[in-house]
A and B are shown apart, each in its own frame.
Chain A
């Protein structure tokens, strides 16, 4: 192991990258709640791997989509791969919600982590976009009618509703164009945005950028003191005399 590592380091110098992320200093009082982000990342990787496998036997066309799903389920491990993709998708939405909730309750969205929060909020909507577009792909009754209702909800928005509806459906009706669009968005557009945002999000969680517990602000950590939810921002002490101190 050591020889492989030094061989690689001489050529690629990877050790600092790995240890810079895995061995970074974090506050001492963090625990299981801080693993929700990693769990979300794990499920994203599961979705990418199983999704790539599924795309090799799936056809996004009203004539073939449902039958290709039936075919996948008859193929060795096909049902398992589709099952993992299906159930992990639901779990992913749940976990990213819990992760977001944890960060908000800890007050960890405040200085100096505002950008991590903004990018994370973008990732939240990307995951919801995956869920919405992926739901249609099996082209079964539930998928079809959920998308009829979902696109009509977008269509009921004031002023831009009509444009939103047709942008999503690819026309006035739900059909072949809609399925192809949703597939394209699901496997190309959203993954591209996902990779960009996950990269920024993880870059932003380098040393001193993990928030400690909000209920025990550690005096040793200036970052934790700034961001604790139980210490509201203060200005300087009252100065009734009005004199400059």
Chain B
């Protein structure tokens, strides 16, 4: 079948007009649907707060809390000996708000100072455990290890262990959010 000329002599036949209208309308409807659907599904990506530099804190899968949480008294900890604790924190996980146990490593560095680490490797986020033999925090995944001060000893980790901001009130230690100053 060949396209017939329109009565007014132009090239736009009835058939081509209908095809073009369908393409344009169909495309417009598809785009109108795609904007909210794709936008909704990819929102975490384009709303992302994680820049490559900040990956230092998001590398840890630990669920965050905005509260100050007591982890015990300074005198409860031995100087220089890391201690693993799970503290009940008020966390927000998507639509879930609950009290959940959060693992931390506490190191009393001096008589008065306590440093609190997140026990996850800064390489790819595997769980760290203190090895008394190696005197280091050791990662089971790719062999990264850290001193009790959080500095990297060996392996692939690009930066020191993540630390919580701490506050001491009358001998009691409280932790807040992560200190995001890791280089």
Identify which of A144, A166, A175, A177 contacts B50 (C-beta below 8 A).
Answer: A166
Per-position contact with A for B34-72: 1 when CB-CB < 8 Å, else 0?
Answer: 000000001011111111101101110111100000000
Q: Bound complex: CA of A145 vs CA of B104, how far in Å? A: 17
The count of residues in chain A whose C-beta lies closer than 8 Å to any C-beta of chain B is: 29
Stretch at the interface among B2-10, B81-89, B90-98: B90-98
* Chain A residues near B176 (CB-CB < 8 A): none
Query: How near does chain B come to A86, taking the closest CB pair, in angstroms?
Result: 23
Give the contacts of B118-150 with A (CB-CB under 8 A): 123-127, 141
Closest-CB distance, B98 to chain A (whole angstroms): 9
Find residues 142-187 in chain A having any chain B CB closer than 8 Å to their own CB: 144-145, 148-149, 152-153, 155-156, 158-159, 161-167, 169-177, 180
Contact of B93 among A162, A166, A175 (CB under 8 A): A175
Inter-subunit contact A175/B45 (CB<8 Å): no
Question: For A175, what are the chain B residues with a Cβ–Cβ distance below 8 Å?
Answer: 61, 63, 93-94, 96
Say how far A182's CB is from chain B's closest CB, in angstroms. 13
A165, B94: Cβ atoms closer than 8 Å: no
Contact A152 B59 (CB under 8 A): yes
A62 to B95, CA, bound (A): 12
From residue A229, how far is it (CB to closest CB) to chain B in Å? 39
Chain B residues, CB < 8 A from A180: 94
Q: A173-B62, A176-B95 are in contact. Are A167 and B50 (CB under 8 A)?
A: no
Nearest CB of B to A180, in Å: 8
A165 close to B55 (CB less than 8 A):
yes
Beta-carbon nearest neighbor of A176 in chain B: B94
Whether B44 contacts A170 by the Cβ 8 Å rule is yes
In contact, B50 and A162 (Cβ under 8 angstroms) = yes
Complex CA–CA separation, A176 to B61 (angstroms): 12
Q: State which of B48, B63, B126, B141 has its C-beta within 8 Å of the C-beta of A173.
A: B63
> Is A156's CB under 8 angstroms from B55's CB?
yes
Nearest A-chain residue to B42, judged by Cβ: A167
Is there an interface contact between A162 and B58, defined as CB atoms closer than 8 Å? yes
Distance A152 CA – B141 CA, assembled complex (angstroms): 13
When the two chains form their complex, are residues A172 and B141 in contact, meaning their CB atoms are under 8 A apart? no
Q: B55 contacts which chain A residues (CB < 8 A)?
A: 152, 155-156, 161-162, 165
Bound form: Cα–Cα A156–B95 in Å: 27
Task: Identify B58's interface contact among A153, A155, A158, A170, CB under 8 A.
Answer: A155
Check A173/B59 contact, CB under 8 A, given A62-B93, A163-B48: no
- Residues in A whose Cβ lies below 8 Å from that of B54: 162
- State the Cβ distance, A145 to closest chain B Cβ, in Å: 6
CB of B59 to closest CB in A, whole Å: 5
A44–B44 Cα distance when bound, in Å, is 30
Query: Is B50 a contact of A165 with CB atoms below 8 Å?
Result: yes
A149 — which chain B residues lie within 8 A by C-beta?
A: 124-126, 141
- The answer for the CA separation of A175 and B91 in the assembled complex, in Å, is 11
Select from chain B the residue with minimum beta-carbon distance to A166: B48
Q: Could you tell me the distance between the alpha carbons of A62 and B55 in the complex, rounded to whole angstroms? A: 24
